[in-house]
Amino acid sequence: MRTAEIKRRYLAHFEANGHTVVPSAPLPAIDDPNLLFINAGMVQFVPYFLGQQTPAFKRAVSVQKCIRTPDIDEVGKTSRHGTFFQMNGNFSFGDYFKEGAIKLAWELSTGAYGLDPERIWATVYLDDDEAFDLWRKIGVPAERIVRRGKKDNFWSMGIPGPAGPCSELFYDRGPAYGRDGGPEVDEDRFMEFWNLVFMQYEITDVKSKSEFTVVGDLPQQNIDTGMGLERVASLLQGVDNLYEIDEVRPILARAAEMTGKKYGAKSGHVAGESHPDDVRLRVIADHVRTALMLIGDGVTPSNEGRGYVLRRIMRRAIRAIRLLGWQEPALPELLPVARDCMAPSYPELAADFERISQAAYGEEETFLGTLRAGTTILDTAIADTKKAGRSALAGDKAFQLHDTYGFPIDLTLEIAAEQGLDVDADGFRVLMAEQRARAKADAKARKTGHADLSAYRTVLDANGPTDWLAYETLETDSRVLAVWGTGEIVTVALDRTPFYAESGGQDSDAGLLTGPSLRAEVIDVQRPVKGLVAHTVRILDGTIAVGDTVHAAVDPEWRVGARQAHSGTHVVHAALRHVLGPSALQSGSYNRPGYLRLDFAWRGGLSDVTRSEVEEVANQAIRRDLPVGVRYVPLEQARHEGALALFGETYDETVRVVEIGGDWSRELCGGTHVDRSAQIGSLAVTGESSVGAGQRRIEAVTGIEAFRYLARERDLVGRLAAQLKARPEELPDRVTALLARMKQTEKEAADLRARLLDLDAEEYAAGAVDVGGIAYVGVTITGDGKTLAEKVRNRLGNRPGVIGVLAGPGLVVALTPAAVDRGLSAAHLVKLLLSGRGGGNAGFAQGKATGDPAELLVQLRDLVGAA
């Protein structure tokens, strides 16, 4: 049974039993400050379990995309660890409880999935007699029901809140997989495939998974279950592990074919351990699929947060296939295979593949460049290590290559071994541990638990949703429902508001709240919980209190500028797709009055011609005065009509579609817009830059800000034309000629300086004084002390010589080879002169000088004489 069919049957089973099918949330955990990625099926339902929000349904079912990265280094070493996985889950919010969950799980497992009921085992919490009796009632014999402790069969989120016992289902895969006796004896043979969590308690004083205090029963009992889709697939497809199911094995097979390796090779390796080639093939298969899913959900490679995790995953895959012998770009061979594996369950991956592949291939290209640069640096470090007579590359050098340049430690070890060197792995591990400790401390400092939204929730429950009128009006008379905070800056909830709350890339409105004894500036507007609008205000005059009637007024000029910018963002997006093609899809945006920026998928910068063409297409659309319309339609209808959505965003079943010129621009959007495109005024592109591999950013100004920008440009051109006594159209040729002349002048000046330096070096070498049989030169100059010291040294030829040059605060000491042969060292002399500061080698050293320069050169001469 293919994985897509397993997913379909799961959803159909629970939908037929009264559950609302809830789509998977995007992998980025946008609404949870503690998570980078969704890591469990219940994450999007946490606000319901915590009582922060009231669900619109009592029963739900989902197949949630998940990412777990704490064990990323274990991926491939065992058959259990995977970075991306899918979690089937059914949920009850105060509806059915243990009996219903157990009955539904048994019916699906033995019915639609056809698992042999004689091979299913169940575990229950130690004292959960109710669950034990329910399994007995359904037909599981007592000898196949195992009681287990808190470590295995009690669930919590690791923080004070809901918790409860759980019951896990295991399937006996047969004697070929291990010993008989149930999951207590062998969890390889007896594979867990479903966990039913019975949320019935509230806990506090949480110290660990097994140390907490049960406060009492929850107001309502909930069900949260998790069935690993990949695990069930391995059972139903009769394969050993998640790497061999239909959604993963083809990627692994293609990697094996590319590298000439055979998966499952055991010859000559330690029994019981995976062969290194197998580990690498599993890493490739898992990480390529994970990268596909992350980029599909809008994550792009970067050096921070989610983007860094994606980058690390991709680089581990690229590194693994290089270690198997493949030196060319690998993702163009592997990513299409992953797409074909996953598209039956996620058809949007095929539709968006051009964008996804651009980001992925660009990242691989960048990393291959990193590897080339890192190899050069490593080669130099190896040469220096050998020259110094050491047998091991320093741990700090290996760490620098890893941390600064992204050069994998595995490759450092491999290349060093090829050159007959070890690597100070202990030193490297110490530095890595220190870095991880710093990162962990930073994460702990930032982690504050689930945001306390109870105060907002209380206001929402007591008064209902805010009457949000931002689309209809700029002014309302409103009643104050709540005030949080004291002093000059407070947060206010109103029963109705005309203010746009920041969302969808659009900045919040500005304006005033006024009353008989109040004048307050609105400086921010947010939605802390769905349905409630909260205004952050600065009190200018008077006071504000619950029950007051206030006049809420949006600054009309602000709103005009905001509408122009947001509509301008849509116009620029459409223009980009018109000029570059449909793969130039928006991945993020921000707009405020008069300004917009838009991030989009594209490899390589835009030429001046292309940038001008995008600007021209956008302004032509503005000039055509296209109608701007808004419709509310079902999400699936909007997708069918080709409406563009922002990656990573979660949408309701009914969505708002904004159209400019009908299908010329059609996007899902909750922002404020002009009525016709000509109201944007004009649009000027002000910049285009890179924001990551395969990602570009275009910036523009609109309306009056565009006129001001163009006026400044015109003024600048006018002043340049006047200074150069040329017409504006002649400026490019004039500037090019000036630059050419300047370059030639700089070259001539450099040649003259070099000739003068040669003359100086000749003079200084001729004037060298004899100090104990060593030619000594000590000079103070303004200029390039290093070059002068080298030139003087060359002119001393075979004579033992020491040259000291003070150039500003910098001291340079150079020795001829004959002086080095006599046992002198430039590095030693510099350290003696500068009290241990400075550095270099026997022939050349430098450092920052302090004190009297003349005295320093005298001291150097004395040191030479004493030697």
Q: CA 656 to CA 638: how far, in whole Å?
A: 9
**Selection from 62, 208, 187 nearest residue 121 by Cα:** 187
pLDDT for 443 beyond 50: no
758 falls within a domain: no
User: What pLDDT, on a 0 to 100 scale, did the predictor assign at position 11?
Assistant: 96
156 falls within a domain: yes
Q: Each residue of 496-550: pLDDT tens digit?
A: 999 999 988 899 999 999 999 899 999 999 998 889 999 999 999 999 999 999 9
What single-letter DSSP state applies at residue 561? Answer: H
pLDDT for 388 beyond 50: yes
Which of 186, 210, 244 delimits the end of a domain?
Answer: 244
788 falls within a domain: yes
551 is in an annotated binding site: no
pLDDT for 271 beyond 60: no
Residue listed under structure tokens 């419709």: 631
> Residue 721: phi, psi to the nearest 5?
-60, -40
pLDDT for 268 beyond 50: no
Q: Each residue of 590-618: pLDDT tens digit?
A: 999 999 999 988 878 899 999 999 999 99
Same domain, yes or no: 677 and 775: no
- Would strands 511-515 and 774-781 be described as parallel, antiparallel, or unpaired? unpaired
Same domain, yes or no: 617 and 489: no
Q: Each residue of 799-815: pLDDT tens digit?
A: 999 999 998 888 999 99
Diameter over CA atoms, the chain:
107
What domain range includes position 854?
Answer: 767-866
**Selection from 258, 255, 225 nearest residue 243 by Cα:** 255
- Look at residue 845 and give its three-state secondary structure: strand
User: What pLDDT, on a 0 to 100 scale, did the predictor assign at position 227?
Assistant: 94
pLDDT for 621 beyond 70: yes
Q: Each residue of 708-744: pLDDT tens digit?
A: 999 998 899 899 989 988 898 888 898 999 999 999 9
535 is in an annotated binding site: no
CA dihedral of residues 361, 362, 363, 368 (deg, nearest 10): 90
Same domain, yes or no: 417 and 540: no
669 is in an annotated binding site: yes
User: Half-sphere exposure of 70 toward its Cβ, with a 13 Å CA cutoff?
Assistant: 3
Report, as an integer, the average pLDDT of 475-494.
Answer: 94
| Sign (positive or negative) of CA dihedral 834, 839, 845, 849 | negative
Structure tokens at 276: 């290194």
Q: 837-851: string of b/e by CB count within 10 Å (b at 16+)? A: ebebebbbbbbebee
762 falls within a domain: no
User: What pLDDT, on a 0 to 100 scale, did the predictor assign at position 625?
Assistant: 96
H, E, C per residue of 576-591: HHHHHCCCCCEEEEEE
Same domain, yes or no: 238 and 263: no
pLDDT band at 33 (very low <50, low <70, confident <90, very high): low
13 is in an annotated binding site: no
Structure tokens at 832: 């003696």
Split into its structural domains, the chain has a count of 6
**Which residues, 6+ apart, have CB-to-CB distance to 537 below 8 Å?**
489, 490, 491, 492, 513, 520, 521, 522, 523, 544
Same domain, yes or no: 711 and 665: yes
Structure tokens at 46: 């946490």
**Is 779 in contact with 756 (CB distance < 8 Å)?**
no
Report, as an integer, the average pLDDT of 222-247.
Answer: 93
375 falls within a domain: no
- For residue 814, CA distances in Å to 481, 656, 777, 862 come to 78, 73, 10, 16
How many other C-beta atoms can be found within 10 angstroms of the C-beta atom of residue 489? 14
Same domain, yes or no: 492 and 568: no
User: What pLDDT, on a 0 to 100 scale, did the predictor assign at position 857?
Assistant: 87
pLDDT for 425 beyond 50: yes
Q: Each residue of 118-152: pLDDT tens digit?
A: 999 999 999 999 999 999 999 999 999 999 998 88
702 falls within a domain: yes
Q: CA 418 to CA 411: how far, in whole Å?
A: 11
427 falls within a domain: yes
- For residue 99, CA distances in Å to 440, 456, 539 come to 41, 35, 56
pTM as predicted: 0.66
Q: CA 432 to CA 423: how far, in whole Å?
A: 14
**Is 416 in contact with 423 (CB distance < 8 Å)?**
yes
- For residue 147, CA distances in Å to 98, 121, 122, 165, 382 come to 16, 11, 9, 11, 58
Structural element, H or E, at residue 173: none
785 falls within a domain: yes
Same domain, yes or no: 662 and 696: yes
Which CATH number does the domain housing residue 614 bear?
3.30.980.10
Q: CA 65 to CA 648: how far, in whole Å?
A: 12
Same domain, yes or no: 33 and 136: yes
**Which residues, 6+ apart, have CB-to-CB distance to 655 below 8 Å?**
632, 633, 634, 635, 638, 643, 668
Same domain, yes or no: 479 and 606: no
Same domain, yes or no: 218 and 365: no
Which of 340, 370, 400 delimits the end of a domain?
Answer: 370
What percent of the chain stands above pLDDT 70?
94
What single-letter DSSP state applies at residue 121? Answer: E
**Which residues, 6+ apart, have CB-to-CB distance to 555 below 8 Å?**
509, 510, 511, 512
Q: Which residue has the higher pLDDT, 527 or 450?
A: 527
Which of 529, 554, 579 delimits the end of a domain?
Answer: 554
Same domain, yes or no: 783 and 660: no
User: What pLDDT, on a 0 to 100 scale, did the predictor assign at position 748?
Assistant: 92
Query: Over the chain, what is the mean pLDDT?
Result: 88
Same domain, yes or no: 209 and 99: yes
- Would strands 774-781 and 801-807 be described as parallel, antiparallel, or unpaired? parallel
Q: Which residue has the higher pLDDT, 445 or 37?
A: 37
- Look at residue 461 and give its three-state secondary structure: helix
